[in-house]
């Protein structure tokens, strides 16, 4: 049987006794996400925006590693820095909170400049 191209993911989030503190679960892993202090929430744990951005960055690392592996390139290390900006005074949409801008910066070790640019270009196409 051929490997399906479908990927299914699930997670859940529930309130805790502390307003603005959320207990999240995915598979058998549990972690806390806090709302921001600006909204009167704890702000001690990672916030939803940080977790969202970390998910994108980790996807970038994985995908570049997979592309390099498939091309048999000697990639030693990948680092992705990601920054997001949300301007509540200038929302992208009025019905939902969205980042106005997200910037990614890749740092690769072990490959040539040309191979690195090719890997990042292919990442952008995915």
Average confidence (pLDDT) per 10 residues, the chain, 126 residues: 81 97 97 94 95 96 97 98 94 90 97 97 91
- Quick one: pLDDT at residue 32? 98
- Quick one: pLDDT at residue 126? 81
Please say whether the beta carbons of 94 and 101 come within 8 A: no
DSSP three-state, residue 69: helix
- Quick one: pLDDT at residue 116? 97
End-to-end CA distance of the chain: 25
User: For residues 22 and 13, what is the distance between their CA atoms, to the nearest angstrom?
Assistant: 6
- Quick one: pLDDT at residue 2? 59
Q: Let me know the angle formed at the C-alpha of 67 by 66 and 71, rounded to the nearest 5 degrees.
A: 115
């Amino acid at each position: 049987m051929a490997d399906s191209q479908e990927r299914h993911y699930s997670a859940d989030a529930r309130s805790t006794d502390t307003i603005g503190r959320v207990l999240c679960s995915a598979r058998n892993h549990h972690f806390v996400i806090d709302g921001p202090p600006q909204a009167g929430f704890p702000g001690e744990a990672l916030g939803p925006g940080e977790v969202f951005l970390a998910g994108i960055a980790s996807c970038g690392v994985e995908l570049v590693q997979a592309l390099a592996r498939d091309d048999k390139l000697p990639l030693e290390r990948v680092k992705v820095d990601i920054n997001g900006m949300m301007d509540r005074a200038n929302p992208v949409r009025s019905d939902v909170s969205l980042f106005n801008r997200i910037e990614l910066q890749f740092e690769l070790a072990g490959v040539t400049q040309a191979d690195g640019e090719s890997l990042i270009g292919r990442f952008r196409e995915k």
